[in-house]
Structure 1
Amino acid sequence: MSTEPRTAVPFTTRDYAARMSRVVDDGRAAGLDGVLVAPGPDLVWLTGYQPTAVTERLTMLLLTADREPTLLVPTLERPDAERAEGAPAVALVGWTDGADPYDVVRGLLRPDGAYGVSDNTWAMHLLGLQSALPGSRYESLTRRLPMLRAVKDDNELARLAAAGAAADATYEEILKVRFAGRRETDVAADLADLLRAHGHEQVDFTVVGSGPNGANPHHEAGVRVIQDGDCIVLDFGGLMFGYGSDTSRTVCVGEPSEQVREVHEIVRRAQQAGVDAARPGAACQEVDRAARRLITEAGYGEQFIHRTGHGIGVTTHEPPYMIEGEELPMVPGMCFSVEPGVYLPGRFGVRIEDIVTVTADGGRRLNTSDRSLRVVG
């Protein structure tokens, strides 16, 4: 097993400048005078800057049509901001402890402006802006600009593909370890170690839901000892080159029961139907409808208790969401999970998940590991 990390093509100042310009244009089209971005995934995507510690000190990127992109930072953190990949594309404005940062912002924004704010903005900072600019209005970017990071360029797609391949390799390796007689936490630790060995710099989750625990979609790996005959949901992922992986497979310790085989085949077919529904121009909800229809027709509709998928990029969960009512059209470069499941309380669960990217004529999986029901020891 190779543990040598692969490399990624660095993003350039031009890449970050183009992203910020697009956000300004999209914001204007949405009726906004500007977009305000606090530390979090949006700031990383737009500038490459992630403060070493997010504190009560105001850090905020101001994107408006009437001035160059401006990053407001505490003076003591300015050296870190200057080293960010996208720093040349922004004007840095520092403020010192003891000064009022909202007074600085007052001079950079319209007093009666309408602004989109990133979801990671602390309430205290939003209240501070409202106090400094009482005539201004604010809306969540997720509501006003839901496609902010949804469509990936070639470099982003390459990073997501690398993360997916690393997750696939992790799955093939975990099939070789012993499950029976070990705790869920032991297998979860193996998954985390393998993700890192295959190049992940960050592990976000390692779900190991054995037996009845598999009926909880977000079960945290616990001290339950895995037993012969258990059906086990494995769901794991994290960040590689700054972009996410997220995959689920279901395995069985020893020979599976007929019902486990039946449910697994239903979920496998539903997952395929969801992938097949990914195509340009179709609404995101069509992915959910395709997968859910097959599970419902098989008699397990009430046991499919979550959306079919979520977007993925610099975070493992982001818009768009594959759920009934989401009418955003799919476009090439959009990436999301397709992960239907069936959960039988007190007995077992089954989930199969791949990351899919929309292409010019359909959808392409970024996970290619075996989706059949594998038997482990």
Structure 2
Amino acid sequence: MKLNRLEKVLSGMKENNIHQMLVTDKISIFYLTGKMISPGERLIALYLNTNGDHKFFLNELFPVTEDLGVEKVWFNDTQNAIEIVSNYIDKNATIGIDKNWPARFLLSLMDACPNCKYVNSSFIIDSLRMCKDDEEKDLMRKASQINDMAMVKLQQALLEDLTEKEMASKLATIYEELGADGFSFSPIIGYGPNGADPHAHPSDAKVKVGDCIILDMGCIKDNYCSDMTRTVFYKEAPQKAKEVFEIVLEANKRAIALVKPGMRFCDIDNAARDYITEKGYGKYFTHRTGHSIGLETHDMGDVSAINTDVLKPGMIFSVEPGIYLPGEFGVRIEDLVLVTEDGHEILNKHTKELNIIK
């Protein structure tokens, strides 16, 4: 167990009067134990109790041989895992449950322990994960460095006359060659009008002269995620698209310039949104300005108009304003930003200035 993280979780439990908790999300289990297990439909659970009586419930299908600093309780596919878990639970106390635990497990536990009070306790670990320690910061820098290198190679591939789908496949190969562990999310590659859909899926479309192209991509390296968007032009940049590009770029820069401890997430969103609105494109900026990122592409926390949480050192999130004109084109420019003790650090080093691929 990572004792410094465990101690913070136990402290958070006590503050919220949650004396026992089942951690069942594989990412949060990894955060606390350093062991990544993908259980599929099977149950895994880390039971934490403020009295120190912790257990790790594991299916024999996942042979964890190393000492994780917590007692392991084993079961197999023919046994009732919930019944085994329930034997260790204080059946007359509040118990914290992960926000995404499948109903088939939760409902069974509620039947087995009807006198427990069930509460969502994910926020305790999720809030800790928002602020990265030094090791995590370095891992995030490393993932973003790979993403920077991949962006260079992907933009070069635009000259190979590939479809959006073929570009996505090309990116998978590029990541493998650069030592990444795979995609952190399915890439968004949008030529021309396809880029006007903020979550476009790669299609069979081929690039045309004058196309404004969105390249939104990220990889995983050592369990940590990267994410970056660059908008480029093919052969030439039409005047209207160029003007929209410069508006989005300025919005990105204005928002990032405000990032420092003590600012609020909504302040960052307002900086980008107000500028785009001032330029007449407010209704075409259809999403929040960003999201937190780390072990997952979308960690807890976002850069939105309604999030009044204060920025703290160690937080990492995206700043990705965009303008999307249906039937014409879209522009999005995204960087990952780390909050430092007295300001910020931009993790992406690849240029975001206007770039015409020739």
Unaligned runs of at least 5 residues, structure 1: 1-12
Give the whole-Å Cα distance in 2 for the aligned partners of 1:187 and 1:75. Answer: 41
Q: Which residue of 1 aligns with 2:190?
A: 209
One-letter amino acid matched to 1:66: N
Q: Which residue of 2 aligns with 1:193?
A: 173
Q: Which residue of 1 aligns with 2:53?
A: 68
- 5 Å-filtered alignment, 1:126-205, equals 126-143=106-123, 146-179=126-159, 181-203=161-183, 204-205=185-186
What secondary structure is seen at the aligned counterpart in 1 of 2:190? strand
Give the whole-Å Cα distance in 2 for the aligned partners of 1:195 and 1:185. Answer: 16
What secondary structure is seen at the aligned counterpart in 2 of 1:176? helix
Q: CA shift at 1:165, angstroms?
A: 0.9
Give the whole-Å Cα distance in 2 for the aligned partners of 1:227 and 1:270. Answer: 27
Q: CA shift at 1:186, angstroms?
A: 1.7
Q: Which residue of 2 aligns with 1:101?
A: 81
TM-score (normalised: structure 2)? 0.94
1:34-70 deviations in Å (ceiling 9; x for gaps): 33111421112121223354223x2100111013331
Aligned CA-pair RMSD: 1.8
Give the whole-Å Cα distance in 2 for the aligned partners of 1:263 and 1:72. Answer: 53
TM-score (normalised: structure 1)? 0.90
Counterpart contact for 2:12–2:124, Cα < 8 Å: no
Q: Find out whether 1:50 has 2:11 as its counterpart.
A: no
Q: CA shift at 1:101, angstroms?
A: 2.5
Counterpart contact for 2:130–2:301, Cα < 8 Å: yes
What secondary structure is seen at the aligned counterpart in 1 of 2:72? strand
- 5 Å-filtered alignment, 1:309-320, equals 309-320=290-301
One-letter amino acid matched to 1:105: V
Q: Which residue of 1 aligns with 2:229?
A: 248
Indicate the percent of aligned positions where both proteins have the same amino acid: 32
CA 1:145–1:283 in structure 2 vs 1: closer, same or farther (change >3 Å)?
farther
CA 1:250–1:124 in structure 2 vs 1: closer, same or farther (change >3 Å)?
same
Counterpart contact for 1:30–1:145, Cα < 8 Å: no
Q: CA shift at 1:255, angstroms?
A: 1.4
Counterpart contact for 1:41–1:314, Cα < 8 Å: yes
Q: Which residue of 1 aligns with 2:283?
A: 302
Q: Find out whether 1:116 has 2:102 as its counterpart.
A: no
Which sits farther off after the overlay, 24-33 or 213-222?
24-33
Q: Which residue of 1 aligns with 2:23?
A: 37
CA 1:276–1:141 in structure 2 vs 1: closer, same or farther (change >3 Å)?
farther
1:174-228 deviations in Å (ceiling 9; x for gaps): 2322347421112222222222222211213221111110011111111011111
Give the whole-Å Cα distance in 2 for the aligned partners of 1:256 and 1:268. Answer: 15
Give the whole-Å Cα distance in 1 for the aligned partners of 2:239 and 2:340. Answer: 37
1:247-292 deviations in Å (ceiling 9; x for gaps): 0000011111111111111111111112122211222222111111
What secondary structure is seen at the aligned counterpart in 2 of 1:205? coil
1:314-333 deviations in Å (ceiling 9; x for gaps): 11111111111112211100
Which sits farther off after the overlay, 234-243 or 114-123?
114-123
One-letter amino acid matched to 1:227: K
1:160-180 deviations in Å (ceiling 9; x for gaps): 001111111111222322347
Q: Find out whether 1:352 has 2:333 as its counterpart.
A: yes
Q: Which residue of 2 aligns with 1:10?
A: none
Unaligned runs of at least 5 residues, structure 2: none
Counterpart contact for 1:181–1:227, Cα < 8 Å: no
CA 1:287–1:112 in structure 2 vs 1: closer, same or farther (change >3 Å)?
farther
Give the whole-Å Cα distance in 2 for the aligned partners of 1:144 and 1:296. Answer: 36
Q: Which residue of 1 aligns with 2:4?
A: 18
What secondary structure is seen at the aligned counterpart in 1 of 2:301? strand
Aligned pair count?
Answer: 357
Counterpart contact for 1:117–1:141, Cα < 8 Å: yes
One-letter amino acid matched to 1:313: G
What secondary structure is seen at the aligned counterpart in 2 of 1:131? helix
CA 1:52–1:359 in structure 2 vs 1: closer, same or farther (change >3 Å)?
closer
What secondary structure is seen at the aligned counterpart in 2 of 1:43? helix
Q: CA shift at 1:145, angstroms?
A: 5.5
